[in-house]
Amino acid sequence: MKHLTYCLFFLYLVSCQSAKKDLPPPNILWITSEDNSPFAGCYGDTFATTPNMDALAASGFLYTHAYANAPVCAPTRNTILTGVYANSGGHQHMRSYNDKSEVVGFYPRMLREAGYYCTNNSKEDYNINPEQNAHIWDESSRTAHYRNRPEGKPFFAVFNSTISHESSIHKSIPSEELRHKPEDVTLPPYHPDTPEMRHDWAQYYDKIEDMDQVIGELLQELEESGEAENTIVFYYGDHGGVLARSKRYVYESGTRVPFIVRIPEKYKHLYPAEKPGSEVDRLISFVDLVPTLLSLTGQEIPEYLQGNAFLGEQKTDDPEYAFMFRGRMDERYDMSRSARDSKYRYIRNYMPYRVYGQFLEYLWRAPSIRSWEAAYQAGECNEVQSRFWNTKPAEELYDTENDPWEVNNLAADPQYAEVLERMRSATRDWMLEINDTGFIPEAELIDRTAETTAYDYMRTSGIDLNELVDGANLASNPRKGDIPFLQEMLASEEPAIRYWGATGLLILGTEAKEAEEALRTALADASPNVKVVAAEAMYRLGNTEQGLQALYEVLETPNSFARTHALNAIDCIEDSASSTQQAVLDMIGRVGEFNRSHYDLRAAKGLLTKWGVDPQDHGYDMDW
* Active site (catalytic) residues: 73
The angle, 0 to 180 degrees and rounded to 10, between the axes of the packed helices 560-573 and 528-540 is 10
Rounded Cα–Cα distance for residues 270 and 113 (Å): 22
- Tally Cβ neighbours within 10 Å of residue 2: 6
Say whether the peptide bond before residue 533 is cis (omega within 30 degrees of 0): no
Residue 253 vs residues 16, 137, 257, 445: alpha-carbon distances, Å? 42, 32, 9, 30
In degrees and rounded to multiples of 5, residue 449 shows phi and psi of: -110, 25
Rounded Cα–Cα distance for residues 284 and 320 (Å): 10
Contact 121, 141 (CB under 8 A): yes
Contact 180, 245 (CB under 8 A): no
List alpha helices for 100-188, DSSP H: 107-113
Residue 591 vs residues 108, 587, 588, 604, 617: alpha-carbon distances, Å? 37, 6, 5, 11, 17
Give the HSE-up count for residue 43: Cα atoms under 13 Å, Cβ half-sphere.
Answer: 22
Coil, helix or strand for 159?
A: strand
Contact 311, 270 (CB under 8 A): yes
* Residues 6+ away with beta carbon under 8 Å from 430: 321, 323, 339
In degrees and rounded to multiples of 5, residue 399 shows phi and psi of: -90, 95
In degrees and rounded to multiples of 5, residue 533 shows phi and psi of: -65, -40
Residue 111 vs residues 125, 138, 486: alpha-carbon distances, Å? 20, 11, 49
For residue 301, what is the DSSP state?
P
Coil, helix or strand for 372?
A: helix
Backbone region of residue 99 per phi and psi (left: phi > 0; alpha: psi in -120 to 50; beta: other values): beta
Rounded Cα–Cα distance for residues 472 and 499 (Å): 9
For residue 434, what is the DSSP state?
T
Cross-sheet strand order for the sheet of 344-349: 322-326, 336-340, 344-349, 395-399
Rounded Cα–Cα distance for residues 14 and 8 (Å): 10
